[in-house]
Structure 1
Amino acid sequence: MILKKEALEQLSKELSLPFTGAEQDWDIEMADSQRINDFLEFYHRRDVSTDNKVAVMSLVLASYEDFLNENDLQTDESWDAINLILESEKAIFIDLINYWSLSNEFEEENIFRITPLIRSIKCN
């Protein structure tokens, strides 16, 4: 999935992210496990384009993966809000869902911590 540079520049500015333009994996590099709720609030309170929705959700998912790893958790209450967005706009986020679900990987040590959660969306 390719995120559009224009969207990344705009979102980085609006979200006060340390964007330089040299990022190869913007969502991974800008992820911040402490700002998941900020990112979700931004998603809900802005009338954002589809490209921006995908970029913000990319950032949310990368941040949530970091959060789960940092806190050694399987889920928390933020997942409910993330899941609701992904389920309600599944067509927009299908590439993200496919990426994080790692559907061809079956070894638990080779998947993301968020993968089982994403797989539950993919199955619905």
Structure 2
Amino acid sequence: MFFNKETITQVNELLHLKASGDEQEWPLEVADSDRIIEFLYLAEMLDIWFQIRYAFIALILYSYDKYLGEHSDHDKYLWDRIEKLLDRDAGRFNELLNRWALWDVEDDTDLFRLTPLVRTYLTEFQQKHTTGAS
């Protein structure tokens, strides 16, 4: 998952993130579980260019994974909001989501905390779009 420096700079400025734009794994380094509601709100409300929205979604996913590591149970309300954002651009985030799904990993100890949710989302997305296409 690569973001160009212009996109990262725009998102950093929009969210007042303390990042240079040269981070190797930008969304991981700036993820903030305490700001996930703010990130979701802005992603829902702003009419932004797709590349910036893609960066927002990456940041939201990393932040939510961090959130899951800090809380014993996942927040269904937050995850529902994330799913709605993903559905808004149906299928356009699948490459990003497949990175989180880790389909080739079977050992639960080697998964991201977010992996089971992403796998379920992608499976349901595939079923919905395969059934709808018939």
TM-score tier, shorter chain, comes to over 0.9
Greater relative contact order, per chain length (Cα 8 Å cut-off, separation 6+): 1
Length-normalised TM-score, structure 1: 0.94
SS in 2 for 1:53: helix
Cα deviation code 1:42-88 (max 9, x no counterpart): 11221111101110000000000000001122443211100121133
SS in 2 for 1:61: helix
Partner residue, 1:96: 96
Structure with larger Rg: 2
Q: Which runs of 5+ in 1 are unaligned?
A: none
Q: Does 1:7 align with 2:7?
A: yes
Partner residue, 1:116: 116
Matches within 5 A, 1:9-88: 9-88=9-88
Kindly, what percent of the aligned residue pairs are identical?
33
Cα deviation code 1:84-113 (max 9, x no counterpart): 211332322011110111111110000011
The answer to which structure has the higher helix fraction is: 2
Length-normalised TM-score, structure 2: 0.87
SS in 2 for 1:35: helix
Contact 1:43 1:56 in 2 (8 A): yes
Partners of 2:51 and 2:74 in 1: how far apart? 29
Equivalenced residues, count: 124
Partners of 2:27 and 2:21 in 1: how far apart? 12
User: Deviation of residue 41 (structure 1)?
Assistant: 1.0
Report the aligned-residue RMSD: 1.2
Partners of 2:90 and 2:4 in 1: how far apart? 19
